Structure 1
Amino acid sequence: MNLLLVAPEQIPVPGSGSVEISMLAIAKQLALNHTVTLISRTGRGLPQVSRMGSLTIVRVRTGSPSRYIASVLRYIRGRRYDLIQVDNRPHYMAKIKAVFPHTPVTLFLHSLTFVKPTARVNESLGKADLIIANSDSLKASLAARFPRHAGKLRKIHLGVDTGRFRPAGGRGSQSGSRFRVLFAGRVIPRKGVPVLIRAVGLARKEYRAIDLTVIGRGRPGYMKELKRLARAKGVPVKFAGKIPHQAIHRNFRSADLFACPSQEHEAFGLVNVEAMASGLPVVASHIGGIGEIVKHGTNGYLVDAYTRPEEHAKWIVKLARDRELAGKLSRQARKDAVERFSWKQTAGKLMGIYRQFGT
C-alpha cells in the first residue's frame, strides 16, 4: 500500500513530542511492508526531504495552522495514496478528505486537546472514514462527546522502542542506598510536579535516602515556584531541564522508580511505557488511560486519590524500603512493555484495522 501520514504543525519530525515520536516509530514499522510518506513541518537543521528505505519524510512550510495545512495540500494534490492518516488534527483531516473524497482518510487521536465538544469539531469528525484512539479511555471519552461517530471509533495502544529503552545492566539497589525517583514530561501544572515534590517530602520523613530528578521544561516563573517548594519541603531535586528524546533512555536507566502524578486526563501516557521498558516500577495517578498500562501491585501502583501527596508517598516509601518487591515489579514492568507495547505490535494492529476496514 501507498500510505500518507500527516503530522501536526507544532513540532517537526523527528521531534520530542509524544505525537511525533509515535508517528515516526509507527511509520518506520509500516515502511517495512508498505510505501510511506510522512508530512511534517520544517525544522532547523532538518532537510526538506529525508529518506529511510520505503519511508519518506517531507517537511513543508508553516508559521500558522492555516499556512501549514495549505502547504500540505499543495504538496499532496495530484498524488495518489491508498490511505491517508492525519494525526490529532480533525480540521486538517476534513480539509484533506475534501481533496481526496474517494480515498480512505482516517484520524489518529492522541488526546482530547483538539476535539472540544463543538459543532465544528463534530462536523469535521463526520468526514473521517475511521477514528483511531490511543486508549480505551480516550475512545470512551470520544464516544460520550460525539455519540454520532461512536461507530467509527477503534483503539490502538501506542508502543515503545524496547531495544533502546531497556534496564541498565546490573541494576539492583541494595537496601539502605539512595532511592532515585524520576519524573519526565512537560513541567506544567496539569502534570502534578508540586504534588510529587510534596509526596517525596513526606516519603523522606519515613525513608530519608530518597531524591528526585525532574526532566522537562517549564515557564521560568513556574520553575522558580517549584524550586522554592522543594527547598521548603527539604526535597533534594535535580531539575535537569529538557533532554532530547534520543538521549533520554539513559536517564531512565539511572532511576529506581518513575512517578507520573498527572492531575488531569492522560489519554495514554507514553512516558510510562518507556519507563516500564527501562525496568522501572511506576507510581501513577489513576486517571485516563494510565490504568490500561500500569497494573496495580504488578508493575507499579495506581493512586486513586491522586491530588493528595500522601497517597503517592506511601507507594514510594513501600518500594524504597522493600527492594526485593521493587525488583519484582521492575522485572514485570519490563516484561509487560516487551509483550504488550512494542511498536511492531502497534503498527501491526493498526494495519489489521485498516485491512479489515476494506483498504
Structure 2
Amino acid sequence: MKILMICTEKLPVPPVLGGAIQTYISGVLPHLRKQHDITVLGTDDPSLPNQETIDGIHYVRIPGKIFEIYREGVEKYVQSNQFDLIHIFNRPRLVIPVRNTAPEAKIVLSMHNDMFEPEKIDSEEAMKLLEEVSQIVTVSDYIGNVIKSLYPQAESKVRTIYSGVDIERFLPGNHSSMKHIRNDIRKANGLENKKVLLFAGRLSNNKGVDKLVRAIPELSKKFKDLALVIMGSKWFSLEETTDYIAYVRSLAKKLPIPVVATGFVAPSKIQNWFAAADLFVCTSQWQEPLARVHYEAMAAGLPIVTTARGGNPEVIHPRENGLVVERPEDPSCFAEHIGEILSNSSLMRKMGEKGRELAVSRYTWDRVASELLEVWEQSKTFVKKDVDEKMKAQIINELDNELGNDLENKLEDEKFEEKIKEKSREEKKKKSKEEKKNKFKKEKKKKYAEEMMLIFWEEMKEKSKEENNKKKYEKEMKKKSKKEKKKKNDEEMMGKYEDDAKKKSKEEKKKLKKEKKKYAEEMMIKYAEKMKGKSKEEKKKFNKEMKKKYVEEMKEKSKKEK
C-alpha cells in the first residue's frame, strides 16, 4: 500500500531534537518499509532538507511549530498526493481536515497522550472523527481507557500497542561494547565507585525531579557512596533556565553527594548515560501516558523506581524489574523504594537482568512494527457506517413499493436485507461519483482561473515592459535633444568667438605695423645723428649692433602683445 505517516508539528523526524513520537516512528520505519511504500510528513528543521528519500522512505517537511499553520500544510500536501492509508500520530484534530481532502483513504490514529480530553478537542468533532478512523492505536491501556470512558462507541476500535527500544544501542553497562564508555563517563564526572541514580526527562514540575532531589538527604544518611545524574532540559534541545530549574539547582547544591546535571543530551548519546548508571528513577507527578524512558532503562539493564501515574506501572513487574511509588508527591516514598533496592544487591542485580530480558522479548521495534502491520491490514476492510436516516427512509419507501405493504415482516427476510445493502451501495457509489464530479469541476475551475491569472499577469508584464521601453525612449530622446541644443549653442558661441578674434587680430596687426613704422623712423633719425663724422668701419659695426638690438626689442614687444 501507499502509506502516509503524519507526525506532530513540534519536532522533526528523524528525532534529531529528541521526542517520543519521533523516536517511535524512526524505530518502526526500517521494518515497515519492507512491505509498503511509505512517506513521512512532519515539521521542518534547519538541520534537515525539506524533502529527501532515505532507504526507500520519503520524508517531506513543512512549516510547523504552530498547529494551525501545520494543519494548512498537511491539507495542501494530502490534496495534491494520493494514499491508500494515512496514519496520523497524536493529533486527532487532523482527522477531519485529512478526510475532507482524502475521502477514499483509510485513516488510522495513534494516541500517545490524553488528546481526547474536553479541553483539547470539541466533543462534536471528536465523535465525528471517531466514525472516520478505522482503528485507534494507543501506547498504553491507560490512554485507551481514557478514550473509551469519554466515548464508549470507540471501544471496538481501540488497541494498545506498547512502544519499543533499540536493544542493540541501549545495552547494560557491563556489556563488552559499553564497559569503556561507562568507565570514561564515570571517571570524567567524579562518579567512580559510586551508586549512580539516574533521572532522564524534561525538567518540569509535572516530571517532578525535585522529589528525587529532596529524597537524597534521607538516603545519604544510610548510603555513603551515592551520586545523582539529572539528564534533560526544559524542552528537549531548549536550554532555557525556568523558575523550576533554578529551584532544582538550588536544592541540588545543598546535597552532600555529587550531582551531575547534563542538560540536553543528543538522542544519539543518551544510551551512554544509561550505561553509566546503576538505578533509574522516574518521578512523574502527572498522568503520564507511559514514558519511553522505562523501555530504555530496561534495555540498559537498570532496576526501575517509577510512579503510579497513568500508564507507567503497566511495564513494571513489582519486585521483578522495579518498584512503583504509590504516593509520588511524597519524597520519603522515593527514599523508601530506592533504599529497598540499594540495600539488597542481589535484588538489584536480578531486577536489572529481568528488565533486559523483558526488553529483548517484548519491547523490540520489530514487534511494534509487526503489530502496526496487522492494524494496517485490518484497516483495508473497514467500511464507514455512513448510511444516514434519510437514506434509510428513502430505501425503505422504494422497497415498500416493490415488495408490498407487509414491510415490517419482510425486514427479517435475507433477500430484503440484501436489497437494502445493494441500494445503499448504489447510493454510496452515486454519491461518490457526484463528489468526484464536483471535485473535478472545482479543480477544472481552479485550473482555468490559474491559467487566466497567468495570462493576465503575462499581459500585464508585457504592457509594463512596453511602457517602460516607451518611457526609456522618450528619456533618451529628451537627453539627445538637450545634447544637440547644447552642441548648437557651443558652435554658435565658437563661431562668434572666432569672428571676434579675427577682427581683433586684424586691428592689432594694423596697430603693430604703424608702431613699427614709427619706431623705424625714429631709429633712422637717431642713426643719422650718430653717423655724422664716423668712419666706414665704425658705421658698419654700429649698424650690426643696432640690428641686433632692434630684433630683440621686436621679440620682446611681440611677447607682450601675445
1:332 is matched with 354
Q: Which amino acid counterpart does residue 4 of structure 2 have in structure 1? A: L
Q: Does the Cα contact within 8 Å between 2:282 and 2:306 map onto a contact in 1? A: yes
User: Does 1:271 pair with 2:293?
Assistant: yes
Structure ID, larger Rg: 2
Tell me, in whole angstroms, the C-alpha distance in 2 between the residues paired with 1:125 and 1:235. Answer: 52
2:284 is aligned, of 262, 270, 275, to 262
- CA change 1:94–1:196 in 2 (3 A) is same
Q: Deviations over 1:280-329 (max 9, x none)?
A: 11100022111211211001111112222121112212222322221111
Task: State the SS of the aligned residue for 1:189.
Answer: coil
310, 315, 320: which one aligns with 2:332 = 310
**Which segment drifts farther, 65-74 or 276-285?**
65-74
Alignment length, in residue pairs? 356
- The answer on 1:155 being equivalent to 2:177 is no
The runs of at least 4 consecutive aligned structure 1 residues that moved more than 4 Å come to 170-173
Shift of residue 235, structure 1, vs aligned partner: 4.7
> Structure 1 residue 99: deviation in Å?
1.4
Deviates more, 1:251-260 or 1:56-65: 56-65
Q: Name the counterpart of 2:26.
A: 24
Is the 1:291–1:302 Cα contact (8 Å) retained in structure 2? yes
SS of the aligned residue for 1:62 comes to coil
Q: Which has the higher contact order (CA 8 A, sep 6+)?
A: 1
Matched, 1:142 2:147: yes
Shift of 1:233: 4.6
1:98 Cα offset (Å): 1.6
Kept in 1, the 8 Å contact 2:137–2:159? The answer is: yes
Shift of 1:78: 3.7
Taking structure 1 as the reference length, the TM-score comes to 0.94
Q: Residues 211-259 of structure 1, C-alpha deviation per residue, up to 9 Å, x if partnerless?
A: 1111111251221100112234545321110101111111100000110
Equivalence for 1:105: 107
Q: 2 CA distance for matches of 1:123 and 1:264?
A: 29
Q: Which amino acid aligns with 2:165?
A: V
Which SS does the other structure have where 1:3 is aligned?
strand
What secondary structure sits across from 1:166 in the alignment? coil
Offset of 1:179 from its aligned partner? Answer: 0.6
Matches within 5 A, 1:208-287: 208-218=224-234, 219-220=240-241, 221-287=243-309
What is the match of residue 402 of structure 2? none
- Contact 1:183–1:258 (CA<8 Å) still a contact in 2? yes
Structure 2 Cα separation of the partners of residues 290 and 67 of structure 1: 33
Task: Pick one of 282, 293, 296 that aligns with 2:318.
Answer: 296
Partner letter of residue 46 of structure 1? L
When structure 1 is superposed on structure 2, of 84-93 and 161-170 the one drifting more is 161-170
* d(CA) in 1 for partners of 2:316, 2:215: 19
- The equivalent of 2:376 in structure 1 is 354
Is the Cα contact below 8 Å between 1:85 and 1:105 reproduced in 2? yes
Matched, 1:129 2:134: yes
> In 1, Cα distance between the equivalents of 2:26 and 2:35?
15
The answer to which of 64-73 and 118-127 deviates more is: 118-127
- Other-structure match for 2:39: 37
Gaps of 5+ in 2: 184-191, 235-239, 382-562
Give 1:208 shift. Answer: 1.9
Of Structure 1 and Structure 2, the greater helix share is in 2
Note the residue ranges of structure 1 that are not aligned, 5 or more in a row: none
Q: 2: distance between equivalents of 1:253 and 1:246?
A: 13
Contact 2:207–2:283 (CA<8 Å) still a contact in 1?
yes
Could you tell which deviates more after superposition, 276-285 or 48-57? 48-57
SS state at 2:144 partner: helix
How far 1:92 sits from its partner (Å)? 1.1
Equivalent in 156, 170, 173 of residue 165 of structure 1: 170
Which has the larger strand fraction? 1
1:89-128 deviation digits (Å, cap 9, x = unpaired): 111122111211221111101011x322242444444432
The residue number in structure 1 matching 2:116 is 115
Q: Percent identical across equivalent pairs?
A: 28
Secondary structure (helix, strand or coil) at the match of 1:239 reads strand
Q: Given residue 169 of structure 2, which amino acid in structure 1 is its aligned partner?
A: R
Please give the alpha-carbon distance, in whole angstroms, between the structure 2 residues aligned to 1:315 and 1:93.
43
Does the 8 Å CA contact 1:197/1:235 hold for their aligned counterparts? no
- Give the distance between the partners of 1:232 and 1:142, measured in 2 at CA: 44
Q: Is the 8 A contact 1:216 1:243 kept in 2?
A: yes
Q: Separation in 2 of the partners of 1:335 and 1:165?
A: 13
SS of the equivalent of 2:211 reads helix
| Cα distance per residue 1:42-82 (max 9 Å; x no partner) | 10120112322221111112352222122122222242222
Task: Quote the Cα distance in structure 2 between the aligned partners of 1:20 and 1:91.
Answer: 19
Contact 1:94 1:128 in 2 (8 A): no
In structure 1, what is the Cα distance between the partners aligned to 2:173 and 2:58? 33
Secondary structure at the aligned position of 1:230 is classed as helix
